[in-house]
Amino acid sequence: MGIIIAAAITTLLAILAFGYLVYRLCTPADWRVALAAAAVALPLQPLVFYAVRLPLHALLQSALGPGIALNMISLFYAPLTEEPAKWLVLLVPWIRRVLRPDNAVAFALATGLGFGIGEIWFLAEQLTRVPQFAAAPFYMFGGFLSERLLVVFVHGATVAFAFKWLADGRSFALGALLGVVLHFLINFPIFLMSIDPIGVGRDAWSAAIQIYLIAFVIALGAAVNRMTRGRLSESVLGSATCPECGSRYPRSLLGLNFVTVRYERCPNCRHWHWVPMKQPAREG
């Protein structure tokens, strides 16, 4: 079936892309723990859906009936069930014991990878029950692929605050709450599209939501990169030497690429420069 092939391709791309990031952010010893975090997170999305979300929805539906009140409350289902589910990874003693400020983001991204892959296959199974989707060829699911890859990263990024703040000795509760709020904010425009409060139509909302999601994911990426002190962007873009102050720095995710050169900011002298895309390897 087409959706099964699409889910398999999406899973492979997610493992290659985000598994690579986790690998680059980990020491050899931490890599095995990151794999464990991904494995623990793998069944959590369908588990929390069937064990918590469906019973909660049935209870609220019987109490409130269908309508705007139930729709408003349903906005909180995903952030209030999926974020706490990801925190369960920290209940594994082996993972919690080795959590440190330098590996917390890697473990969070590994958790998001496992959680996101579980969600990919949960949705794929749901779509096989819809005749028009079950019969569609795999190349018709390009939107599914791109959306799921973004969501895999978002799952890791939203839980990264809880993991990192806990490892830093800061408030886990505040980091966890921030993840819940971010999860809510990324879903909120979809609700607005469903009620169309300003009457612009579904097509206009779809275009606006695409721009919003791209900006949101870029901002999340920048925040996660900051938590790793630039190691995330360095894993993707490498490092560069400033032509003005001569310092070596991890390249930021924020910059303009022009095939052979890149316009980017040196974090040391804080000036913007044109820097060659291909840089010599770091010495030593």
3-state helix, strand, coil in the chain (%, to 5): 70, 5, 25
Whole-number pLDDT of residue 280: 64
Residue corresponding to tokens 């316009």: 263
When divided into structural domains, the chain yields a total of: 2
Asked if residue 193 and residue 94 are part of one domain, the reply reads: yes
What pLDDT was estimated at residue 189? 87
The boundaries of the domain holding residue 127 are: 2-236
Question: Per the domain annotation, does 55 fall within a domain?
Answer: yes
266 in the same domain as 142: no
Here the tokens at position 44 are 């959590």
The pLDDT of residue 61: 86
Going by C-alpha positions, the residue among 117, 40, 49, 128 that lies closest to residue 81 is 49
Q: Does residue 192 belong to any structural domain of this protein?
A: yes
Say what the pLDDT of residue 239 is. 86
Report DSSP state, residue 65: -
Residue 232: closest CA among 217, 219, 250: 250
Print pLDDT tens along the chain (284 aa).
799 999 999 999 999 999 999 999 998 889 999 999 999 999 999 999 999 999 998 998 888 887 777 877 888 899 999 999 999 999 999 999 999 999 999 999 999 999 999 999 999 999 999 988 888 888 899 989 999 999 999 999 999 999 999 999 999 999 999 999 999 999 888 878 877 888 888 888 888 888 999 899 989 999 999 999 888 888 878 888 999 999 988 887 778 888 789 999 998 999 999 999 877 655 44
Q: How far apart are CA 234 and CA 264, in angstroms?
A: 13
For 84-99, the DSSP string reads: HHHHGGGGSHHHHHH-
Same domain flag for 36 and 95: yes
Predicted local distance difference test score (pLDDT) of residue 131:
87
Residue whose C-alpha is closest to residue 81's, from 185, 13, 183, 226:
183
Residue 149 in domain: yes
CA–CA dist 164, 171 (Å, integer):
10
Structural domain contains residue 177: yes
Residues 137 and 53 in one domain: yes
If one counts every other C-beta atom within 10 angstroms of the C-beta of residue 275, the result is 19
CB 179 within 8 A of CB 158: yes
> Phi then psi for 171, rounded to 5 degrees?
-75, 115
Residues 178, 135: one domain? yes
In whole angstroms, give the CA distance from residue 6 to residue 15. 14
Query: pTM of the prediction?
Result: 0.88
User: Within this chain, do residues 230 and 248 fall inside the same structural domain, yes or no?
Assistant: no
272 and 219 assigned to the same domain: no
Asked if residue 10 belongs to a domain, the reply is: yes
Mark whether 228 and 244 lie in a shared domain: no
Same-domain status, 37 and 10: yes
Q: Classify strands 256-258 and 248-250 as parallel, antiparallel or unpaired.
A: unpaired
Is 281 among the domain residues? no
Residues 96 and 74 in one domain: yes
> Would 39 be classed as within a structural domain?
yes
In a domain, 284, yes or no: no
> What was the pLDDT predicted at 252?
79
C-alpha 266/C-alpha 239 separation (Å) is 11
* 187 and 206 together in one domain: yes
Please tell me whether residues 130 and 55 are part of one structural domain: yes
